[in-house]
Structure 1
Amino acid sequence: MKYNLFLIPVLACTKLFAQTTYINKIDKEQKIRQKISVLKADNNIWQGKYTEYNLKSNSILNEGYYKNNQKDSTWKYYNNWQKLAETGGYKADKRIGVWSAFDNKGELELQFDYDNDSLLFYKPTIQEIFKKQYNLIEGNDTTLVELDRKPIFLDGSSTMGSAIAATLRYPEEARSQHIEGKVIVAFKVNLDGTVSSFRVSKSLGYGCDEEALKAIKNIKGKWLPAVYQDREVVVENELPISFTLSY
């Protein structure tokens, strides 16, 4: 009797596996290749293991699971150096539980509890440590203040860096003129964690401003809004984009 009971979950698992197959999709515009587990009866239903690769290097960008076309269970995202950038769980396409983000050295940078909407741990970047004042935006008024908590990108700096690198191109005009330097892009971090009102606050020219704006706009993900005097506020954040030639 015990032997028969043991076989039931094994047979059920084997049957479920037999109902799926793998397909590969290539997106040349996004420069990715997807290996997707789908139902044999309907290839439009993603069910099971999913892996996304860089089309050029064939390195893994992310991996996880789908259940009826929705992200489910544990997911892992990797940076350009194939180190773990962030990991956590999904249920019905929504993040659940505690998510962890890591810096480029592989050290823990951030932990956020999506069930309780609370920041558990955060190690600020060098840029955030040295930036003391931010533009506080209230209606039509802008005031320079020192924040109680600076705006935080919940996917971590490593994921942000990979998103920028995937889009950023060195403009041919700047390359031919041997132009190097830094563009600073400013944008609002809103109360709901979205970003808007992108602008160049420090220009380099020669096509670099446009490339920097495009790269910053390519960063997807939610921000934790800033806190000032014990309340969440809208502020203008800044990110630098460096252009350096290799000789």
Structure 2
Amino acid sequence: MKSKIILLGASAMLLIGCTVQNVRTFRQQVKSPQYKDKYVEFMDADETVVTSTYHTLFTKKADGRYVFRQFFPETEQITNLTHYAADKEIEHGLHKKWYDDGTLITEGYYLNGKKIGTWYHIGTGTGTYIDGKMEGKWERKNEKGLTKSIYQYKDGKKDGPFMVYDSLGVLTNEGVYKADTIFSQSNIEHSAKLTQIPLFSPCEGLSGKEAKDCANSKLLTYVYKNLKYPSIAVENHIQGQVIAQFYIESDGQVTEIKINNGLCQAMKDEVTRVIKSMPRWSPAIKDGKPVRCLYTLPVKFKLEG
């Protein structure tokens, strides 16, 4: 079996097409009899095991639906719970996702493959889906329970008044969206904007988008050359997206590496190792001065064959 590490640079954050381990990729896995009882404690009384592997559990419920669960195997922390219809293809029922530390990322319900009712997303907050599209008020709160932002949606797009608040709950920006485009806004904190994002090995003689694209390309090359697909992950058919976050200090050093979604400990350790080995970056610039900045690096691991 061939292994592949896929990276794609875009904008200030590296975005990688997400290959979430689900029922479709699950079918391609080799059945693992030695793990048949590994996750039985997570099953409901009406479920029977279809397949159980090092990091996943696929079961059938008495009503004919199927349930897919994925785990961070070393701690047995569940990271994905998805219900499917009897055809094993269409999401139907409760869906939840967690980071490796148990932090809830997403929660909501599917009806025949479309999101419905109240959903929670860690990045956008809580709101309603109608026929698979975001609709009405979506509110995001911080860890203290204070509102961070409120946006209105229509047919899946931001449409209507919006408000953004600081960590103390003070309004810092408000305005109006129309069809996902800002129509008007006020109270903008211009000082909060970076004039330059952090760059990995900046390219001489380039500026703006060209400099950013060149630096991203160098970063991708560096990661691709140094990152290895852990053997235990290959042996147990573990693939998907590892999400790393770290700070680029004002002097360009990489600090405070955190892997939110590591898939397994070996993958988590490998991505951390490569990030730790990085040379100094060119720091972010704000108001003409270098500043500390958070950077997100998702890396997609994919098995072929």
Asked if TM exceeds 0.5, the reply is no
TM-score (norm 2): 0.34
Q: TM-score, normalised by structure 1?
A: 0.41
Per chain length, whose mean CA-contact separation is higher, i.e. which structure has more relative contact order (CA < 8 Å, sep 6+)? 2
